Amino acid sequence: MNIFQVVLVPLTIFYFGLFSEASSSAKQQRSIVVAVIDDSSKVDFETKSLVILKSCSICEVRNLSPYDQQGNFDSKALPSAIAAVQGVSNLLYLGWNKPSSQDNTDVVEALKVLIQSGVLVVGLAGTAGVDEPSSPLNKTVLGKVPDLIIIGELKERETLRQRSYFGPEMLTAIQPPKEFMNQGKVGLMFVTRLAQNWSKKSFSAQ
């Protein structure tokens, strides 16, 4: 067992224990607006990600992911998409992360402004690309943003996914069900459970 297993497994158990307690008053709560920016294609979002988000009976999902004309995620439009969250929701799930560089400092700044405005942002730690070396979270975009909640994903035997970004900036890592393993969807599962168990006043639309 490596150091990450030692640290992350107890946290994983804690969060699954927390989320296993269904809220008996969920149906009586008014809907919670959950803003989502996910780096999957529009088709993947509608056929996979949305299925997970709809498991939250009180969540009203607002997909703010920017797409190009082919329906693929458009990272160049990320800053404006992040800024658009204000006035829509107090909770954002960001399923995107890249190594920090001069090309994405505007994304870092947009996230800092959003969090300072009172929006809670949950992000997926993510994995390095095929041609990229794995690196610490503090060298990624999400790792540069204070108070952003970062969730990692565990695979079989409760180890981090291969090429995962890693570091103490990660709140916890969770192992998804087998049908969703290695798909980068665990952050969505965390957000839906978070929304169901949080105070309804915290995430009402502004």
Is 90 exceeded by the pLDDT of residue 108?
Answer: yes
The bridge status of strand 170-174 relative to strand 149-153 is parallel
Read off the pLDDT of each residue in 165-174 and give the average, rounded to a whole number. Answer: 77
37 falls in which pLDDT band (50, 70, 90)?
A: very high
- Contact assessment for residue 123 and residue 94, using Cβ atoms and an 8 Å cutoff: yes
Structural element, H or E, at residue 120: strand 120-124
Q: What is the pLDDT of residues 66-78, one digit of tens each?
A: 999 999 999 999 9
- Residue 171: CB atoms within 10 A of its CB come to 18
| Residues β-bridged to residue 64 | none
Dist CA 66 CA 192 (whole Å): 21
Is 70 exceeded by the pLDDT of residue 94?
Answer: yes
Amino acid 200: pLDDT: 45
Provide the whole-model pTM: 0.79
Amino acid 162: pLDDT: 64
Read off the pLDDT of each residue in 45-64 and give the average, rounded to a whole number. Answer: 92
Mean confidence (pLDDT) of the chain: 79
102 falls in which pLDDT band (50, 70, 90)?
A: very high
Amino acid 110: pLDDT: 97
3-state class (DSSP) for residue 22: coil
Amino acid 105: pLDDT: 95
Question: In this predicted model, which residue has the larger pLDDT, 164 or 1?
Answer: 164
Amino acid 203: pLDDT: 45
Amino acid 131: pLDDT: 73
Is 50 exceeded by the pLDDT of residue 151?
Answer: yes
Q: What is the pLDDT of residues 132-149, one digit of tens each?
A: 777 788 999 999 999 999
Question: In this predicted model, which residue has the larger pLDDT, 121 or 17?
Answer: 121
Percentage of residues in the chain with pLDDT exceeding 70? Answer: 73
Is 90 exceeded by the pLDDT of residue 34?
Answer: yes
